[in-house]
Amino acid sequence: MMRVIPVILACLAVMLPLLGSQVLFFPAAWGQALAFRILVSLCLVFALFQIRQWPDFLARLVQAKSVLIPLGSFATILLLALLFSEDRYMSFWGLPTRAWGIAQLIPLFLFALFVFLFLRKTDWKWVWGSALAAGLAMALVALSQQQGWFSDALVQYPRPPGTLGNSIFLGMYLLSLTLIAFSFAFANIGNPESRRGKGFFRLLLTAISAILAGGVLLSLSRGALFGLGAGLLFFFALFPGKSRIPRFFTLFLLVGGIALFLFINAAPNPFPEFPLASNMWDRLQSENLLDQARILGWQSVLQGVAEKPFLGYGPYNSFIPFNAHFNPVLTEVTGSTGYWDTAHNEFLDILAGSGALGLLAYLGFLGALLWQLEKAKRRNPNQKFLLHGMQTALVGQHVALLFFPNTFATSLIFFLAIGYSLSLISKPLIHADIKPTQANPHKSAVSALICVLLIFFNWQITLVPLFINGDINRASILAESNKCEPALALGEQTLQQGTFINYYSRLKYVDLISACMGRAKTNVLELSGKAVASLQKEVAVRPKEPRTWILLGGYTNNLAAATKNESEKLALLDQARNAFEKAYVLSPKRPELFAEWANTELLAGDLAAAKEKTTRCLLLDGNYSFCWFQLALEKAKTGDNAGAMRDLNQFENAKGRYELQGEGKVLQMAQAFTSAKEKPYEELAKLYLALTKIRPNNPQYFASLAAAYRELGQYLNARDTARIVAKLQPENQQAVDQFLQTLPPQYR
């Protein structure tokens, strides 16, 4: 019975990528990583009660020292980089959005050692069988999502994420399993004794690898396809044995791949009616093969690495050099603000996080592992195809990692492969069976104490954060359903728990405030005050994140705009400037920084300073709609309506939306136009329409919109809008009736 426990624990662990829930286990990697942490704790408890075998385990560790020493060196440099990290919170704990951090990495290291030490040769087939079964289930989920099957339970995606939350991670995860299944199909091809009766399983494994490869295609991930191609080329080009057939396959893959690439780039898309094939055809065009965004991101990170080349900025802190050398062209390429937390290249992330020392240590470990697998081929020719298969999986995965980082599911397969590789290059356990330890009061007491500590650890560090995150997700769902009052109440409740997840709780609470601003009964001033209080705590924990400083400055602007006390207003504006100055030091080329900063100066009445900030914003990104709106607002406040209208045309050309500018700015623009002699009613109608979307419960905005419609001659819209005012404010029915009397009779 004792021998089965490690197998069960390992099988459960490799099935975790299938774990998913919109509430409790979202983001997917976070929920899976926390569940994995509990399983690893159970593995440690089991190991504690195997004290009799510890001498055997130590002997096995010594056998694998040629790999474990480089791995330990890499781990040591990571810890050293953590000690000098510029953002220790991110380096150690990470955020649920990615489930990175040393705290998530330690259980993976322990898991690799556990499966290496406790799984026997015959146990591995069950573990890998479970992993491949999970991969098949994942591929089926992805296919269902892509085709729209079970639409009541699964959302349809053009690029399905499976249960991993991201199509790129899906491709990466299935890539590793594809190469492993393909390699297992050839595992004993050179051993006559092992080939007997294996034909069916070889055929089955080949079919499984084909299905998993189909899942990689569904992900439309070019990096995963490159990894798959590189893995297959490695497998056939360096195939053990004297047969020429693998060399033929190598030539076929190379020539066929080049010919297919040339054909795709020369011929028109022949699959316009088939979305999957059409999308893949477009993504493999030469101009799309390496997207500009990644190249710009890599350049930014590399510039930062040159400033801290030895130990880097701390593990998982690629965002620091990226922000410091941010290229605003990225916002034009991606259409987003471009706040990256990764270089989208695992090797660059290691270089940025732990410097050249960390990258060299990692490459040294990877090289040692591949070399020991190569040496094991000579010692054990009967397993040379299996050993070659593990090399193939490692090579294919790391080629794919040139284009994106690891997530929990891909890291899990990687560390499982490490444990398996160690077992292949080491001798088996001296004792054939795992035996329970003999009774020893002292050892039992120590083991019991450690078990109690593990229970406390899992409650405080795993279960409590898991439940808090579940409440955060429930609050987000409520906000999306326009139930802002209970959403904000639940969000505030998550802030009361004193755990390491508090930073994330406050971050999501500010997101709730942003989503509910204008829709909740709580006024904008009070919500802005709560946002400022949360963000002040955020910047104290992670002062290197420029986006938080920009948000802090923006919400402080809201407070300054609403206060009636002049001295208080000036103090708040100084606080906003201080926040923007902090953000500028961290990321000096952010257009949104100058857009918000210009609003501070506008509120202070310094039009020259406001114009200077807006101009800098547009010099960084001439298509940044927020800056065009800000420039129009500055001109409207000086009475230059013609100039303001020209800038608003640029704003609309940049695909700007009034409702995204914030209630304060839109209202200021509307008030400036209203005070003009010649009122631009068409623009006023757009502005007040946006205000009704921002604040759907404000009757004054609907009244102003109705008046604008009337002046434009849109009497039907004016009547319908006026009736909304009556519904929102029944006590003003008489005023609404008087307004309706000013409309032509047929529209009253």
pLDDT tens string 270-328: 888 777 778 888 888 877 777 788 899 999 999 999 999 999 999 999 999 999 999 99
pLDDT tens string 173-192: 999 999 999 989 887 554 44
Q: At 267, is the pLDDT very low, low, confident or very high (cuts 50, 70, 90)?
A: confident
Predicted pLDDT of residue 7:
95
Predicted pLDDT of residue 190:
47
The whole-number average pLDDT for the span 555-576 is 93
Helix H or strand E encompassing 613: helix 607-620
Residue 183 · residue 389 · CB < 8 Å: yes
Q: Phi and psi for 29 in degrees, rounded to 5?
A: -60, -35
Task: Please check the confidence at residue 429 and state whether its pLDDT lies above 60.
Answer: no
Structure tokens at 328: 């605003």
| Percent share of the chain, pLDDT over 90 | 62
Task: Please check the confidence at residue 52 and state whether its pLDDT lies above 70.
Answer: no
Residue type, 112: A
Query: Tokens 């799309």 identify what position?
Result: 288
278 vs 43: which has the higher pLDDT: 43
pLDDT tens string 232-242: 999 999 988 77
pLDDT tens string 439-496: 555 566 777 788 888 888 889 899 999 999 999 999 999 998 889 999 999 999 999 8
Residue 352 · residue 312 · CB < 8 Å: yes
Residue 701 CA to residue 189 CA, distance in Å, equals 77
Q: What domains lie within the chain, and their CATH numbers?
A: 4-240+290-425 (no CATH), 460-681 (1.25.40.10), 698-748 (no CATH)
Total residue length of the chain: 748
Query: Tokens 């829709």 identify what position?
Result: 519
CA triple 84-86-87, angle to 5 deg: 115
Residue 16 · residue 22 · CB < 8 Å: no
Q: Phi and psi for 403 in degrees, rounded to 5?
A: -120, -10
Predicted pLDDT of residue 192:
47
Predicted pLDDT of residue 50:
78
Sign of CA dihedral 560, 563, 564, 567: negative
Kindly report the average pLDDT of the chain as a whole number: 89
Residues 6+ apart with CB under 8 A from 401: 172, 223, 227, 345, 346, 347
Q: Terminus-to-terminus CA distance in the chain, angstroms?
A: 84
Residue type, 364: G
Least confident range from 46-60, 503-517, 599-613, 646-660: namely: 46-60
The whole-number average pLDDT for the span 614-633 is 91
What is the Cα 344 distance to its own chain's centre?
Answer: 11
Q: At 435, is the pLDDT very low, low, confident or very high (cuts 50, 70, 90)?
A: low
Supply the DSSP string of 137-201, one letter for each residue: HHHHHHHHHHHTTTTTTS---SS--TTTT-HHHHHHHHHHHHHHHHHHHTTTTT-HHHHTT-HHH
Predicted pLDDT of residue 286:
77
The whole-number average pLDDT for the span 130-158 is 84
The whole-number average pLDDT for the span 116-134 is 94
Task: Please check the confidence at residue 335 and state whether its pLDDT lies above 70.
Answer: no
The whole-number average pLDDT for the span 21-34 is 91
461 vs 497: which has the higher pLDDT: 461
Of the candidates 172, 53, 24, which has an alpha carbon nearest to the alpha carbon of residue 117? 53
Of the candidates 634, 615, 622, 630, which has an alpha carbon nearest to the alpha carbon of residue 661? 630
Predicted pLDDT of residue 308:
95
Q: At 193, is the pLDDT very low, low, confident or very high (cuts 50, 70, 90)?
A: very low
Residue 560 CA to residue 525 CA, distance in Å, equals 9
Task: Please check the confidence at residue 586 and state whether its pLDDT lies above 80.
Answer: yes
Highest mean predicted confidence (pLDDT) among 13-17, 119-123, 288-292: 13-17
Residues 6+ apart with CB under 8 A from 273: none
Using CA atoms, how far residue 43 sits from 40, 128, 416, 562, 567, in Å, is 5, 18, 14, 57, 61
Residue 621 · residue 591 · CB < 8 Å: yes
pLDDT tens string 387-423: 999 999 999 999 999 998 999 999 999 999 999 999 9
Residue type, 182: F
Task: Please check the confidence at residue 434 and state whether its pLDDT lies above 70.
Answer: no
Q: At 428, is the pLDDT very low, low, confident or very high (cuts 50, 70, 90)?
A: low
Residue 393 · residue 179 · CB < 8 Å: yes
Residue 109 CA to residue 124 CA, distance in Å, equals 18
| Percent share of the chain, pLDDT over 70 | 94
Residue 32 CA to residue 15 CA, distance in Å, equals 10
